[in-house]
Structure 1
C-alpha cells in the first residue's frame, strides 16, 4: 500500500531566495508525523506545496500513491487560526465544509450535530463563532477537517495562538480524538513537547533553505497522556531534538 503522503526532493524558491532545498518525507496511512524546525525554515511553505497552493521548482508530491503537484482539494487542512465564517453558525460552518465535499445536506446536518456533541459543544451548535473561546473555535476547525473525506490531514501550528494552559488542554484533546479516529496527519509545530506528545515520528528541518536534518521515531506507546512530559525518557529525547535545532536556529531567518 502506498503511503498517504510522499514528498520527494522538493525545491521551492521565491525569486532568488531558496526556501526548500530538496525536502523528502513520508506519512503512512494512520501515522502521525510532526514537522519541526526553526522559525522561517519553510514548514508552512511545504504545507502550501503539498496542498497545491504553491508550485515547486523541483520534486514530486504523491498523495495516496498519485501525483499531486499543483492539485488542490486532496488534503484536509487545519490552519493556525480557526477561520470560521462569522456569518454562519458553528454547525453551519461544519455543514458547509461537508456540503462542498459532496455530503448530502441532511447527512451534513446530522454529522455536524453528532460531532459537536462528541466534543462537548452540542449547546453551541446554533451559536455564532465569535461567542466561542479560542480553544472551542479550534475544536470546530478540527471537526471540519476530521470530517473531510481526504485521507491526509495537514495541521499548521493549530494551537500556536492559544495561551499555554488552553494549548495543553487542546493537545490532550487532539490526542484523544486522533487515537479514536486514526488518520494520516502531518503537523507543523514549533513545540518539541507537542511533537513528542502527539507523534509517531518527528521530522526535523534545518534553517532556510530547509533540508531534513533527521527523522526520529517516537518510542512512547499509546495511548499517551501529558504525564509523559515528566518522564526521564521524554526529557532526554526533548533535549536531543533541542540540540539539533540550536545550530539550525542560529542560521534561521524570518518568514514561512
Structure 2
C-alpha cells in the first residue's frame, strides 16, 4: 500500500473541514479526488504532505506512520510556480538536488527528460517565454523526477484553456504510463477524473468525508473516443448526482 489516510479529522477554529476521512492509494495506482469547492481537498494534501497536523487520525506512506512529517511526497501545485530567475533546466535540477540527487545526475536526468517531452530546445530558456501548458510540463517533470514514489497533483490543469487542458491530460497519461508512480489527483472536472484515473473518490461538502468510490472500468491506454462510451456518461451522471446533492457548482467539462 503506497498511501493510507486513516480516520482523519481536521478543523480550523469552529469550522470542521475533514471528518473521519479514510482512503488509500495502491502502488502504481492513479486515484482522483473530486468534490465540491471548499470541501477540503487541498487541506487533505497539506495533511498528507506533513504541512498540517490533523486533529485525529493518521497518515501512512509505504506502511510507516508519517503524520506531521515532510519530505515523503512529490507535489505539483495548481500553478507551475517556477522560479523566474532560473532557466527551465535550472528549475528542475534545483528540485532534484534538494531531494538529495547529486549535481551531475540531476543535470543528466533533466536534459534526458526535457528531450523526451519535446522541451530540449527550451532548456536554457526562462519560464516567462513558455506557454502555460509548457510551464505545467516542466512542473510535472519536477515532481515526476523526484525520488518520492507518491505524487500529489493539485488541480494541475485547472488554469489552462479547454484545448490545452485536453492535450495536457493526454501528455500526462503518456508519461505516467511509462513511469507508473502512485498518483493522488485533486480535480474539479468529472471528465478529467474519469479519463485519467483507476479509481475516483467522491467527497461530500465540508466537513468532507468519502461518499462514493468508483473503480474506473476503462482499459489502458485510454481510447481517444472514451467519452462516447455509455459507461462513461453513466459514471459521469453518478458523480454529478453526488456533487449536485451538495448544492455546489462543479466543472464537468474537460
- Out of 214, 217, 220, the residue aligned to residue 218 of structure 2 is 220
Q: Of 29, 46, 66, which aligns to 1:68? A: 66
Q: Does 1:93 pair with 2:91?
A: yes
Separation in structure 1 between the aligned mates of residue 213 and residue 118 of structure 2, nearest angstrom? 36
Instruction: Determine helix, strand or coil for the equivalent of 1:126.
Output: coil
1:53 matched residue in structure 2? 51
CA offset at residue 150 of structure 1?
0.7
Q: Is the 8 A contact 2:6 2:23 kept in 1?
A: yes
Aligned partner of 1:142 in structure 2 is: 140
CA contact (8 A) 2:17 2:206 kept: yes
Aligned to 1:243: 241
Q: CA RMSD in A?
A: 1.2
Give the drift of 1:251.
10
Provide the residue aligned with 1:197 in structure 2.
195
Corresponding residue for 2:35?
37
Query: What SS class does the counterpart of residue 49 from structure 1 fall into?
Result: helix
TM-score (norm 2): 0.96
Distance in structure 2 (CA, Å) of the matches to 1:239 and 1:179? 27
Contact 2:37/2:249 (CA < 8 Å) preserved in 1?
no
After superposition, give the CA deviation of every residue in 1:47-83 in whole Å (9 maximum; x if it has no partner): 0000011110000100111111111110000000000
SS in 2 for 1:54: coil
How far residue 231 of structure 1 moved from its aligned partner, in angstroms, is: 1.7
Deviation string for 1:128-159 (max 9, x for gaps)?
A: 01110000000000000000011100000000
Dislocated runs of 4+, deviation >4 Å: none
Shift in CA distance, 49/125, structure 1 to aligned 2, threshold 3 Å = same
Matching of residue 125 in structure 1 with residue 123 in structure 2? yes
Q: Shift in Å at residue 225 of structure 1?
A: 3.3
* Match of residue 20 from structure 1: 18
Partner Cα distance (2:46, 2:223) in 1: 31
**Cα shift at 1:236:** 1.2
Show the counterpart of 1:169: 167
In 1, the alpha carbon distance for the partners of 2:213 and 2:244 equals: 16
Aligned residues: 250
Contact 1:197 1:226 (8 Å CA) reproduced: no
CA–CA separation in structure 2 for the residues paired with 1:6 and 1:183? 16
- The aligned counterpart of 2:204 is 206
State the secondary structure of the residue aligned to 2:247.
helix
Deviations 1:76-123 (A, max 9, x none): 000000000111000000000111111111111111011001111000
Unaligned stretches of 5+ in structure 1? none
Say whether residues 1:229 and 2:236 are aligned partners: no
